[in-house]
Amino acid sequence: MDNTKTGSFIREKRKEKGLTQKDIAEILNVTDRAVSKWERGLCAPDIALLEPLSKILEVSISDLISGESQVEHKNNEDIIVETINYSNREMTRKTKRLKKKLIIVSFLACFCILLFLLFGYSSVIFQRGNPVPYLIAANKIDETHRFVKVNDGSLQNIYISKKKDQRIDDFLKELEDDCVFELTFKEQLGSIYEVTDGQNITYIESEIYLGKYIVWSYPNSTLPY
C-alpha cells in the first residue's frame, strides 16, 4: 500500500461525498487528526477500519488499498497479495506498539511497587541498616545451624535465628560450642540478657527482625565483675 496514494484517494472520495474529516472521524469513532494523517499519507487506516471506511466512501476495500477506483489492470491475485501484505504490516505495527505499551506499563508497575516498599516498609527492611548481610546469614539457617553469625562489619558479635528459636538458653549453648567456655544466664532486662562466664559480665541484646527472625548481639569486650 502506498500511503500517499491511498490518502489522496480517501480525501478525493470524502470531498465527493461532501463530508468533512470530522464527519468521517465521528462515524469511525476516531479523531479528526487521525483522518488528517491518512489523507496526508503519514500513516494508513487500521485494517479493522477499512471495511467501514469503504462503505462510507462507497468504494471497495481493494480500491482503498490500491489508492484508485479503476483496478482493471490488476488481477485478483495481485489484489489478494497486496491485501495480505497490508494485513501483515498492520499486525506487525500493532504488535510492536503493544510490546512498547507493555514494557512501559511493566516499568511503571515495578517502579510503583518499589516506591511502595521503600516508603511503606523501609523502616522494617532497613531497621538495622544494610539488610544484605542479615539476609545472607538468614538464608544459611537450617536444622543443623539454627544460629548463624552475621558479618556486617560492626564491632559487635551478631547472630540471627528464626523467631521460634528465641530461648536465651539455646543461644548460650550455641555460644558455648563456638567459644569453648560456659556462659550462665543471670538476669533478663526486657530484651537484654545479662550473662556471665564466671569472671566477666556480658549483655546480650535480642531484637525481632523482619517479623520472623531474632537478631542476637553482644559486644566483643566483656565487663569484669
Task: Give SS3 for 213.
Answer: strand
211 and 155 part of one domain = yes
The answer as to whether 108 is a domain residue is no
The answer as to whether 126 is a domain residue is no
Query: Domain residues for 22?
Result: 3-96
143 and 86 part of one domain = no
The answer as to whether 200 is a domain residue is yes
What 3 state SS string does 59-108 have?
CCHHHHHHCCCCCCCCCHHHHHHHHHHHHHHHHHHHHHHHHHHHHHHHHH
The answer as to whether 112 is a domain residue is no
Predicted model pTM: 0.46
Interval 146-197: pLDDT, tens? 999 998 887 788 999 998 888 898 888 888 776 656 788 888 888 899 988 8
What is the tally of structural domains in the chain?
Answer: 2
Residue 33 sits in a domain whose CATH number is 1.10.260.40
Flag whether pLDDT at 118 surpasses 70. Answer: no
The answer as to whether 35 is a domain residue is yes
Which of the four pLDDT bands, split at 50, 70 and 90, describes residue 100? confident
92 and 137 part of one domain = no
Interval 39-60: pLDDT, tens? 998 888 888 888 889 889 998 8
Specify the pLDDT at position 73.
46
The answer as to whether 199 is a domain residue is yes
Flag whether pLDDT at 77 surpasses 50. Answer: no
**Amino acid identity at 13:** K
